[in-house]
């Protein structure tokens, strides 16, 4: 499986995980100008923009640690454009779903909520 297929599979795993939590998936692979957002979903009455990171154990950084400040700024910029594009009014946040493949090819999924830690984000009204 190549890198793109591995990433697409991770996004599908993440979407199923979020649906199992009761979230409603709105969009996947969202183009916003030159940027792309992986998933948008509703967690109750809050819009969530989800960055999916898929990694194998032993590859440089754990998936959740691979979203640095520069990547976060890019996601925030794209998320703001998306929120405006869909004319959303209300609270929103950015989460990361980490999909990690272990040595036995089993996949573990972990959710990291509100990863911007107050950098920006949150209400379009």
Structure tokens at 75: 């996601």
110-125: pLDDT as tens digits: 999 988 865 555 544 3
Beta strands in the chain (DSSP E): 24-32, 35-43, 46-56, 90-101, 107-112, 122-124
pLDDT beyond 70 at 18: yes
Q: What's the CA gap between 9 and 32, in Å, rounded?
A: 22
Instruction: Quote the pLDDT of residue 124.
Output: 41
Instruction: Quote the pLDDT of residue 20.
Output: 97
- Kindly list the domain boundaries of the chain, sorted by start residue: 3-116
pTM over 0.95: no
Per CATH, the number for 3-116 is 3.40.1350.10
pLDDT beyond 80 at 8: yes
If we measure between CA atoms, which residue out of 24, 30, 61 comes closest to residue 44?
A: 24
47-68: pLDDT as tens digits: 999 999 887 766 566 556 667 7
């Amino acid at each position: 499986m190549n890198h793109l297929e591995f990433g697409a599979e991770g996004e599908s795993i993440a979407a199923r995980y979020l649906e199992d939590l009761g979230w409603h998936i709105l969009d996947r692979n969202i183009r916003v100008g030159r940027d792309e957002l992986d998933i948008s979903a509703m967690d109750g009455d809050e819009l969530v923009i989800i960055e999916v990171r898929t990694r194998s154990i032993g590859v440089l950084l754990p998936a959740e640690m691979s979203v640095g400040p520069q990547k976060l700024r890019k996601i925030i910029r794209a998320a703001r454009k998306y929120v405006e594009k869909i004319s959303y009014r209300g609270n929103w946040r950015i989460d990361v779903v980490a999909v990690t493949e272990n040595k036995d090819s089993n996949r573990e999924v972990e959710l990291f909520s509100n990863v911007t830690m107050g950098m920006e984000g949150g209400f379009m009204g």
